[in-house]
Amino acid sequence: MTTIDSLSEVAPTARAADIRELPIPPYRGTTLPEIDYDAHPAYGRMLQKPTLAERLQALKVFVRTFAFVTIRRIVDYENMPLLSKEAGFSGLNASTALRYITMYTRIRASRILGSLTGARRPAIPANPTLLNQIKSDGIVCLTLTPDELDQIRTATKPAFDKLDERRVHLPPEKRKFDDNVYWCTRSADQNAFAIVDGIFKRYGIAEAASAYLGRPVGVKHVNAQINDQDLAFWRRVFPDTQLADPWASYLHVDATYGMLKCAIYVHDIGPDGGPFCYIRGSQNAKVGWFEGMVRRTNDFSGFSGRKPEARKKFMALPAFLRKKADFGGDLPDDSPEVPRLREGHFSATSNYGNCILFDGNGIHRGGMVNKGERRCLFIVLAEI
């Protein structure tokens, strides 16, 4: 794992430690882990075989969701503005639909014109070390200066204050994922974006992301996130059973495309503080177009859940469609896939850095807090 120390205000030079010096080998798998659900103790060995009606219903939901995910992919949804996160969005109606269609048409036309004229091209990074490390490892750890962290804390304090106010009124058992995240917007949180933009330009992060993704990119989202020891979403994986939680719990790949992400720790995070974790080099595992769409479809449809009803619907699918983006909780500890995951598993605690750049197509997890709480910023780098 490469640790890149604070970069110069003028030129992004770096003092880097080669990952080969660390006892963390790259992922030896060439594909994502395969799971035999028919033989799984919480699936095929526990659940009754689905009826024909249940199979047809599950397939109907899958096909409908697959179409939805395909449309998202075609329109490059992840690289379009999210109106729901910006001021002025009044819900899904004819007005907002027309607004989005108009915006989409304008952006796509501009990008096509830019591609034809050569104006829409990826950046050439001034810091090739950063680009090479994200290509080989899928993750790079950088160290921001104390002054830069202070700037980030000050700029994002309003976001964390609003998040604290929201969470205090919700008991832990009723909190959902979005209850622990505050989406900053450029219209309402200009200072937060300005600080992050400045630091990313200084370090060459935006340039490296652009070169990696093959398109011009910038900071699209800045999200404040809080996880604490009471939010044990990775425990009791199968709540209706006595099965022990597997080591691989919450290991997953993202259900998004065409972006890089960055986690910034606003305080020190140790092994029990929910550090971001990554299977080094797993972003290079071969995942075909159809397989990737199947995994994302099951996540979007809710079939990747692990309560009994979700598992029943998942098992009603044909075997070749039983794949998940969020697969870690289904991997038994005695699976032959687990040793390969364990040996490449890197826990990015604060001693490696406080700014973690990663490719979400690699296998990862985070926020699994055993003691106290974790406060992080999650930044999305995409075409804007």
| Strands 218-228 vs 345-348: parallel, antiparallel or unpaired | unpaired
Q: Across-strand partners of 182?
A: 224
pLDDT at position 14 over 70? no
Residue 177's pLDDT band, with cuts at 50, 70 and 90, is confident
Q: Which tens digit of pLDDT belongs to each residue from 270-287? A: 999 999 999 999 999 999
- pLDDT tens column, 58-93: 999 999 999 999 998 988 888 887 655 554 555 667
Asked if the structure places residue 249 within a domain, the reply is yes
- pLDDT recorded at residue 104: 83
The answer to the question of residue 103 being in a domain is no
Q: Indicate whether 25 belongs to any domain.
A: yes
pLDDT at 211 over 60: yes
Say if strands 139-142 and 3-4 run parallel, antiparallel, or are unpaired: parallel
Residue 24 lies in a domain: yes
**Residue 12 pLDDT greater than 80, yes or no:** no
Nearest 5 degrees, angle CA 152-CA 155-CA 156?
A: 85
Q: What is the CATH number of the domain that holds 346?
A: 2.60.120.620
Instruction: Say how far apart CA 250 and CA 233 lie, in whole Å.
Output: 9
Query: What pLDDT is stored for residue 140 in this prediction?
Result: 92
Q: Label residue 17 by pLDDT band (50, 70, 90).
A: very low
Instruction: Taking residues 220-226, report their average pLDDT.
Output: 94
Supply the pLDDT for residue 86.
55
More confidently predicted of 53 and 76: 53
What is each CA distance from 287 to 284, 291, 361, in whole angstroms?
9, 6, 9
Residue 240 lies in a domain: yes
pLDDT band at 314 (very low <50, low <70, confident <90, very high): very high
Strand partners, 378: 223, 263
d(CA 23, CA 6): 24
> Among the listed ranges 114-128, 243-257, 339-353, which one has the minimum average pLDDT value?
114-128
At 186 the pLDDT is: 87
| Mean pLDDT for the chain overall | 88
- Cβ contacts of 166 within 8 Å, gap of 6 or more: 179, 182
Mean per-residue pLDDT, 206-234: 91
Q: How many CB atoms lie within 10 A of CB 100?
A: 18
Q: How confident is the model over 355-372, as pLDDT tens digits?
A: 999 999 999 999 899 999
Does residue 282 fall inside a structural domain? yes
- Nearest in space to 249 (alpha carbons), one of 42, 98, 109, 71: 42
- What is this structure's pTM? 0.89
Q: What is the pLDDT of residue 346?
A: 94
Whether 88 is covered by a domain: the verdict is no
Instruction: Note the pLDDT of residue 5.
Output: 43
Domain count, the chain: 1
Residue 348's closest CA among 227, 258, 265, 230? Answer: 265
250-260 average pLDDT score: 92
Residue 63 lies in a domain: yes
In DSSP terms, 357 is beta-bridged to: 140, 262
8 A C-beta contact, residue 236 and residue 314: no
* β-pair partners for 203: none
Q: How many CA atoms lie within 13 A of 12 on its CB side?
A: 23
Range of the domain at 248: 3-74+121-382
